[in-house]
């Protein structure tokens, strides 16, 4: 799969869809429109930071799915891959849990696996799920 390029001066918007798993009241399935993204520095010799924005689609919002609270809504699978949040920072759950933001400094050329974590408000028992896509810095 060829990663989607997030270009200069643009937010990198990733739409997130969440569907309850039939027959299992505690789990769900997440899909994203951009499972792999590559940060583009536009050929500049210096790296350019990007805003990465994950947004739940309308159907997921209507079904009361929300991102987990900061800092758990979107996390690196290996927390040691970015010690002290030097590469990814300003991580925040916004819009009442319908969006999650990261700022990517994009100052290296590494690949980062991350997890998206969501839950369904007012579900009993609690319904939650996660997905593990990738970010490629340039």
**pLDDT for residue 10 is more than 70:** no
pLDDT digits (tens, 9 = 90+) for 53-79: 999 999 999 999 999 998 899 999 998
pLDDT digits (tens, 9 = 90+) for 76-102: 999 899 988 889 999 999 999 999 999
Q: Which of 104, 131, 132 is nearest to 40 (CA)?
A: 104
CB 12 within 8 A of CB 53: yes
Question: The domain that contains 24 carries what CATH number?
Answer: 2.60.40.420
Work out how many domains the chain is built from and give that number. 1
pTM for the full predicted model = 0.89
**pLDDT for residue 28 is more than 80:** yes
pLDDT band of residue 133 (cuts 50, 70, 90) is confident
Per-residue pLDDT, averaged over 46-58, amounts to 88
Residue 100 belongs to domain spanning = 4-136
**pLDDT for residue 131 is more than 80:** yes
């Amino acid at each position: 799969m060829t990663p989607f390029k997030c270009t200069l001066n643009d937010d990198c918007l990733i739409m997130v869809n969440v569907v309850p798993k039939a027959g299992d009241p505690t789990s769900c399935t997440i899909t994203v429109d951009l499972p792999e993204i590559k940060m583009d520095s536009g050929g500049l010799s210096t790296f350019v930071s990007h805003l990465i924005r994950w947004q739940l689609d309308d159907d997921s919002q209507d079904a009361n799915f929300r991102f987990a609270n900061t800092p758990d809504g979107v996390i690196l699978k290996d927390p040691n891959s970015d010690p002290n949040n030097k590469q990814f920072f300003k991580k925040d759950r916004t819009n009442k849990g319908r969006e999650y933001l990261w700022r990517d400094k994009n100052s290296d050329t590494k690949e980062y696996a991350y997890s998206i974590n969501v839950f369904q408000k007012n579900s009993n028992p609690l319904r939650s799920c996660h997905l593990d896509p990738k970010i490629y810095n340039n």
